[in-house]
Amino acid sequence: MTINEIARLADVSISTVSKIMNHKDQNITAGTREKVLQIAKEYNYVPYASARSASVSKTFLLGVLIPDFSQCGRLLEGILDRAARQGYRVIPCSSQGNAETELKHISALCRAKVDGVIWEPVCTESLSRQRYFEEESICVTRLCTGTKDCFFMDYNAIVFRGAEELIRLKHTQFSLLANSLNPADALAGFRSALFSHQIPFDPDRILGQDSRDWIPKIKSLGLTGAICTDYRDALELLALLKQYQYQVPGDFSVLAVTDDRTAPVLAGCVSTLAVPFYSFGMHLCAHLLGQCEQHIAQYVPFVPDCSPDSSLTLDMPPSVKLPHIIVVGSLNIDTTLNIGRLPKPGETITARQTITPGGKGTNQAVGVAKLNHKVTLLGNVGNDLETGLIYSCLKEYGIDITGIQKDKSADTGRAYIQVQDSGESTITLLTGANGTLTARTVEENNHLFSHCAYCLLQTEVAVEAIEAAAAIARRHGVKTILKPSSVSRLSDGLLQNTDIFLPNRAEMAIICNEAPAFSSEALNRQADRILEKGAGAVIITLGEDGCFLKDADHSMLFPAADFAPMDKTGGSDAFISALASYLLYGYGLHAAIRIAHCAAGFCISRQGIVPALIDQTSLEKYIHNTCPELLEKR
């Protein structure tokens, strides 16, 4: 800092500054004197004569002048540790992004006669101030100036490394959420990683600042992961995913890029890729010390070396693991009345009431989940308080609810079930929101079918939606199992897209417009009518008589499992859930039918539906004790 610059800052003449600094200011007002001295103190001005007499020996001091230490993780710690190894002390200064504050610190560091300084200029114009350091023979290591010899943290390479980690886990449909760090560099690294692995870049996959758009975009594009360049965004995304019943990392992987100071704090929350500021600080200090002691100014760029700290929120996408089962069907609130027998006309009887989540869609989804398969449920609920009961149930069993829509103009479907002491039941349905599920809604969720092996369909929702689901399943190579319920006819197109048609005896009679079949001949005849319309196989459940299978190669009866019935309401849902689950586990159709009979037997021997559905461990333990060879027939 020169006397000319002090005079300019104080708006006085050079001679006035000289008189004040040399104690010849008798004729200068107190206000002017105080003003000049204050500026001289702030800018550490030393008169030339004093500076000439100052020692020129080494001080073993280094300066650090950057805009904001809070944004640089453990950078200062790395500088301090590296400096201490060689006997240096460090004076840290923050310009706070202000050019005037920066100049004051430059003056202070020059007055302290530091041997070298690590400096990140506030702006390009600040570079002219390097002359102050040069005048004092102070070595300078610059940061982030955009010149060829400056140092910088390569965020491009760090995000590239994060993207490569997701690609290594076989993700191809993942996103970037870059609201901080350096968005341009982050995007460049993201695109570069995709290009290196021949994955097309889609700008629609970039998640923006409005968190309200994140889940809709994730759902519509079928995204399976995201790199977040701000840990706060990562935590908000995790909360939203949890709210929408995504399993992390099972359904969606999250990797947060954060500084090396924050990363340990997040270790129990999210997988992090720590920006190595500590190593960067060590590298900068080593370069500066090379200048100070050996007069070596060779520029060696810093190459960040970092890896995810854990796999806590990282996993392979669902598409490369065991396929899922998708259920398209009804979601109801079930009101069950337990009665001794059905009342006669004009008769009043008492009952015990229970209210539970139900509907064939809910029941079959829970049945599959209890048998340890990943299951997605697609359907509609209404705008009423009882929907919370359904969501709580689905959350408890880890069911993917991204395909569930809320119809604000309708009530949730309801079923009124009367269960007699014999276990027989009658059901009355109020369709509600189930009837408003449209083919368009199903089409909008077609990505949910992309990694499924089986699609379970029931006709307690609008038939157009079921027809659309069956067609989408066929396009995706997904096998369909159709349970006709509350319907008297089905289109040939739906049957042509059905792999297994699975009615009970009464439902089959209604579809065929015939009396219920009790002989093999009648069962064969009715099954043939469905096969002729394009279905792959027909399984007619016969209650305590077991079931009848008819396909291109077989026509045979299977006996029911030996269980005393208490409530037969959920038997078919348990049967279908187990049939699909064990077909997906690799069992043949005959073995899967026998296992499904055991699952149905367990269900009807207990009260209710959802609570009565059997889990895999209990089911296989029972089979192991009764017919262990069945579990070997894969």
- Do 102 and 65 contact (CB within 8 A), yes or no? yes
Does residue 126 sit in helix, strand or coil? helix
Q: Locate the DSSP E strands across 260-412.
A: 271-275, 324-328, 332-338, 352-358, 375-382, 400-407
Q: How far apart are CA 224 and CA 254, in angstroms?
A: 9
In the chain, the amino acid numbered 113 is: K
* Selection from 331, 508, 514, 310 nearest residue 433 by Cα: 331
- Do 287 and 418 contact (CB within 8 A), yes or no? no
Q: How far apart are CA 330 and CA 433, in angstroms?
A: 9
* Selection from 563, 536, 546 nearest residue 505 by Cα: 546
- Give Cβ neighbours of residue 138 (< 8 Å, ≥ 6 apart): 63, 109, 110, 113, 114, 115, 116, 117
The token pair at 228 is 């977040």
Helix axis angle for 589-604 and 616-626, nearest 10°, is: 110
Could you tell me the pLDDT band of residue 165, with boundaries at 50, 70 and 90? very high
CA neighbours closer than 13 Å in the CB half-sphere of residue 544: 10
Identify the bridge partners of residue 57 per DSSP, sorted by sequence position. Answer: none
Q: What percent of the chain has pLDDT over 70?
A: 97
**Looking at residue 54, what is its pLDDT?**
46
* Selection from 299, 521, 328 nearest residue 434 by Cα: 328
Q: How far apart are CA 4 and CA 10, in angstroms?
A: 10
Q: Please give the average per-residue pLDDT across 368-377, as a whole number.
A: 92
Query: Three-state SS across 428-451?
Result: EEECHHHHHCCHHHHHHCHHHHCC
Q: How far apart are CA 574 and CA 232, in angstroms?
A: 43
- Do 510 and 489 contact (CB within 8 A), yes or no? no
Does residue 618 sit in helix, strand or coil? helix
**Looking at residue 24, what is its pLDDT?**
82
Q: Please give the average per-residue pLDDT across 398-413, as a whole number.
A: 90
Q: Look at residue 328 and tell me whether its pLDDT is greater than 90.
A: yes
Buried b or exposed e, range 433-462, using 16+ CB within 10 angstroms: bbbbbbbebbeebbbbbbbbbbbbbbbbbb
Of the ranges 144-148, 198-202, 494-498, which one carries the lowest mean pLDDT score?
144-148
Query: Three-state SS across 158-183?
Result: HHHHHHHHHHHCCCCCEEEECCCCCH
Digit-coded pLDDT (tens) for 305-326: 899 999 999 999 877 777 899 9
Q: Look at residue 371 and tell me whether its pLDDT is greater than 90.
A: yes
* Whole-Å CA distances, 583 to 171, 479, 490, 589: 27, 10, 25, 7
Q: What is the DSSP letter of 574?
A: H
Handedness of CA 2, 6, 12, 16 (dihedral sign): negative
- Do 311 and 271 contact (CB within 8 A), yes or no? yes
**Looking at residue 597, what is its pLDDT?**
96
Digit-coded pLDDT (tens) for 434-448: 999 999 999 999 999
Q: Please give the average per-residue pLDDT across 332-356, as a whole number.
A: 84
Handedness of CA 46, 48, 52, 53 (dihedral sign): negative
Q: How big is the CA angle at 501 (ends 369 and 365), to the nearest 5 degrees?
A: 15
Question: Which is higher by pLDDT, 298 or 198?
Answer: 198
* Whole-Å CA distances, 524 to 210, 532, 555: 59, 12, 7
Q: Please give the average per-residue pLDDT across 481-485, as a whole number.
A: 94
**Looking at residue 55, what is its pLDDT?**
47
**Looking at residue 58, what is its pLDDT?**
77
Does residue 556 sit in helix, strand or coil? strand
Q: Look at residue 129 and tell me whether its pLDDT is greater than 70.
A: yes
Q: Cis before residue 249, ω within 30 degrees of 0?
A: yes
Q: How does the average pLDDT of the chain come out, rounded?
A: 90
- Do 307 and 273 contact (CB within 8 A), yes or no? yes
Q: Please give the average per-residue pLDDT across 117-131, as a whole number.
A: 94
Residue 37, exposed/middle/buried by CB under 10 A (0-12, 13-18, 19+)?
middle
**pTM for this one?**
0.59
Digit-coded pLDDT (tens) for 38-81: 888 788 776 664 544 444 557 889 999 999 998 899 999 999 99
Q: How far apart are CA 367 and CA 610, in angstroms?
A: 8
Q: Look at residue 33 and tell me whether its pLDDT is greater than 90.
A: no
Digit-coded pLDDT (tens) for 194-244: 999 999 999 999 999 999 999 999 988 889 999 999 999 999 999 999 988
The token pair at 358 is 């139900």
Digit-coded pLDDT (tens) for 563-578: 988 888 889 999 999 9
Q: Please give the average per-residue pLDDT across 390-400, as a whole number.
A: 90
**Looking at residue 57, what is its pLDDT?**
59
In the chain, the amino acid numbered 179 is: N
Q: How many beta carbons lie within 10 A of that of residue 427, not counting itself?
A: 16
What kind and span of H or E run contains 114?
Answer: none
Digit-coded pLDDT (tens) for 252-280: 999 999 999 999 999 889 999 999 999 99
